[in-house]
Structure 1
Amino acid sequence: MDILFVALVAFLASGLTLFSGFGLGTILMPAFALLMPVEVAIGATAVVHLANNLFKLALVGRRADPRVLLRFAVPAALAAVLGALLLVRLSDLPTIATWTAFGSEHRIEALPLAIGTLIAAFALLELSPAFARLQFPARFLPLGGLVSGFFGGLSGNQGAFRTAFLIKAGLSKEAFIATGVVAAVIVDVTRLSVYGLSHFTRDFADLTPDVWTVVGVAALCAFLGAFIGSRILKKVTLRGVQITVAATMLALGIGLALGLI
């Protein structure tokens, strides 16, 4: 049942976010966190995110703008290294506190606390109409790359900022989508390199066959969602879906932060 839930989340999120440019990693990571440790869930999400973006790259990547990529994606890759290193550092910190409710003990740890807080914060931003309208002038593209890349490396929450900065870069709709996809691939490859070095030197036991099975199923469902989305979705403005997803993210973020998940 859990793997079916993850598969459904990956399918719906991938389809609905093809044109918005963000959402898959933000939505999928909490779903993975229900099945595995948070640091592993972030790495697993990055694998699915990268695989899905490579698939979308084959669909639309040729339309990317190289000048915008140079100004945005290079700073994003550098900042992603810093975010990923901070993630690794947080995973090494000891338990902050414990608390008991209804006979069960729950631990508040640094990494779930930080990631849960970020997810909750991004959920609140998703609920804010002002944030949905937020756009930055093209001269801030390098800054946007730094911000998007850092949060991408730390928690996978990169797309919302990427969209806010790229939307005013003077790109056509097709170039906007393609440039966002290429930038996401660059960040994903960068952060996976850091995650991979960490896991293969310290936490290889966490990368069990069950983890890779869930990752594979989620990736395939994300491919299917992106393919169907590219065929039938011209413009996704489903505010009710956005509110539902954001509310779910908020609940999951609070659960992670408090040690309930």
Structure 2
Amino acid sequence: MIFTTSLALIALVAGAVASLAGFGIGSLLTPLLALKTGIGVAVAAIAIAHFIGTSLRFFILRASVNKRVLLSFGLASAAGGLTGALLHNTFNNSLLGVIFGCLLIIAGVSEITGLAGKIQIKGPLSWFSGALSGLFGGLVGNQGGIRSAALTGFNLGKDEFVATATGIALMVDFARIPVYLAVQGRELIPIWYLITIVTIGVIVGTLFGKRILQRLSQEAFTKTVGVVLFGIGLLILIRI
């Protein structure tokens, strides 16, 4: 009961955070559910809630999507997500967690201090960043941190940033979820009620977070993204 209640509350928070920063559902919920199911099943289960919550967020923000960034960055992310999904049970997740956590902390500090706004990610580097974020999404269910860190170099407005990040996340979900269902579909059936609870929490949090986003200034939004990046990176390192 305590675990289920905690999962529901974190799902609510994750949905709200994702509405503000463009990511956070997988980063916050996957480690928690993994305590009960193991990382492999947790990644697959949270991907379902992630897809539904992300679809809702994309519908709300669809008019603000930067199509150029979505196509160039998103296609690479989808390819990385598919690759990661195929390999996510073969890599050492502890090592991946250390690397990922450190990258998020660096990105968070850069965003908070303003350094990230001076970095421009263009050409092949944007494709590489997209592929890398998708790869982590497929491997350990944490794609948003690297994606959002990379997207800060495109100088997008807050609505454009979240909408474009959301569209890219959706492309990754389309690539990775069929693989998860094919490989681990039977293992997801016994925890259908947990998936349902998480999904409902994410939906409510998404609707709540949108209202907060509308009230944030661009500077406050930038700092929020930085704090979230840093905080999640620190949590990932602590739990390893």
TM-score normalised per structure 2: 0.83
When residues 241 and 177 of structure 1 are mapped into structure 2, their CA distance, relative to the original with a 3 A threshold, is closer
When the two chains are superposed, the root-mean-square deviation of aligned CA atoms in Å is: 2.5
Q: 1:223 aligns with which of 203, 213, 221?
A: 203
Partners of 1:179 and 1:154 in 2: CA distance: 22
Q: Percent identity?
A: 28
Task: State the 1:169 CA deviation.
Answer: 2.5
In the other structure, the counterpart of 2:84 is 83
The reply on whether 1:251 has 2:229 as its aligned counterpart is no
Listed one character per residue, the Cα deviations across residues 209-240 of structure 1 (whole Å, up to 9, x for unaligned) are: 3x111111111111111111111343354687
- Classify the secondary structure of the residue corresponding to 2:19: coil
Task: State the 1:189 CA deviation.
Answer: 1.6
**Structure 2: runs of 5+ lacking an equivalent:** none
Could you tell me which amino acid in structure 1 is paired with residue 51 of structure 2? L
- Classify the secondary structure of the residue corresponding to 1:144: helix
Q: 1:152 aligns with which of 137, 157, 171?
A: 137
Task: State the 1:154 CA deviation.
Answer: 0.9
- Equivalent pairs counted in the alignment come to 227
1:49-128 equivalence runs, <5 A? 49-90=50-91, 110=92, 112-114=93-95, 116-118=97-99, 120-121=101-102, 124-125=105-106
More strand by share: 1
Could you tell me which amino acid in structure 1 is paired with residue 98 of structure 2? T
When residues 119 and 183 of structure 1 are mapped into structure 2, their CA distance, relative to the original with a 3 A threshold, is same
Partners of 1:164 and 1:119 in 2: CA distance: 12
More helix by share: 2
1:137-148 equivalence runs, <5 A? 137-139=121-123, 140-148=125-133
1:5-20 equivalence runs, <5 A? 5-20=6-21
When residues 215 and 129 of structure 1 are mapped into structure 2, their CA distance, relative to the original with a 3 A threshold, is same
Partners of 2:227 and 2:150 in 1: CA distance: 25
Q: 1:192 aligns with which of 150, 174, 177?
A: 177
When residues 244 and 79 of structure 1 are mapped into structure 2, their CA distance, relative to the original with a 3 A threshold, is closer
Partners of 2:151 and 2:130 in 1: CA distance: 9
When residues 137 and 244 of structure 1 are mapped into structure 2, their CA distance, relative to the original with a 3 A threshold, is closer
Listed one character per residue, the Cα deviations across residues 110-132 of structure 1 (whole Å, up to 9, x for unaligned) are: 4x434543564356446x51365
Could you tell me which amino acid in structure 2 is paired with residue 79 of structure 1? G
Task: State the 1:190 CA deviation.
Answer: 0.8
- Classify the secondary structure of the residue corresponding to 2:20: coil
